Amino acid sequence: MPSKRLSPQKAREKLGQLTQQATATELPLAQKLTALTKWIEDKKDGLLTSKPYVLVLLTEVILDAELWLALRSLSPEQRQQLYLSENNSAAEQYWFEVLFPRWINDWDPKFPNWKREVMQGNFKRDDELILRNLAREIESRGGSYLWRHLLDLSMATDLLASGEGESPLCVQLTTVSGRYLADKRRGWEETLQYWRIQRGLLVSYNPTDNSLVSRLVTVILSYSDEPSANGYNVVTDL
């Protein structure tokens, strides 16, 4: 789970360096990084320090951009060798090979809104504890996961999960139920369709269930490992 945070000074420095590096070869990435630089350029360091999600998100993007640029310099065969040597999971590979490049190269319709909401402190990961517990349980069962704030904010995905298969699943968790779930489902499906995500699972759960984590992981891994579980599946009885 992401917890590392760069200081405001280091984040500004890294954004500048990466933007300069990307401008020569990866202009869409440079443009995204420039937008993030402008997002924080008039904010004092003390204010940014008080905005943990701003710094965590920036740290994630910076570290991922650094690695992605390094991967871009390799051939597909070399990248695959690196993934194998570093024991990267199917979820990590899907992020760096598919979804992160799409975010870099495509227009993100949610970008202006989430920048505003995160800076104003309106974005909170109330489900962070359950996600951490899910991650531990997924790993204990031999699966893998990846969690990024970009996935949540831009792609309606709380985590990427993979079991024994090589096709990760984009999972969205919600406590919304009943008639309100239809609107949630519609927005979720539209977002996944926009990003051309082919495998998604929306799970409506009861947060008071004592066996929730175990049951959630069972459902997530069963859909992840089922080759025929393509498209967008919804589970509402948890």
Cα torsion at 180, 181, 183, 184 (round to 10°)? 120
Q: Quick one: tokens of 213?
A: 């984590």
Q: What percent of the chain has pLDDT over 90?
A: 74
Give the long-range contacts of residues 120-125, CB within 8 A, separation 24 or more: 121/51, 121/53, 123/53, 123/153, 124/53, 125/53, 125/152
**Which stretches of the chain score pLDDT less than 50?**
1-2
Q: What pLDDT sits at residue 210? A: 73
Span 51-71, pLDDT tens digits: 989 999 999 999 999 999 999
Q: What pLDDT sits at residue 195? A: 98
Return all residues near 38 (Cβ < 8 A) that are at least 6 apart.
Answer: none
Residue 149 has φ and ψ, to the nearest 5°, of -65, -35
Q: What pLDDT sits at residue 126? A: 79
Cα distance between residue 66 and residue 60, in whole Å? 10
Span 116-141, pLDDT tens digits: 999 999 998 878 888 999 999 999 99
**What global pTM score does this model have?**
0.92
Mean pLDDT for the chain?
92
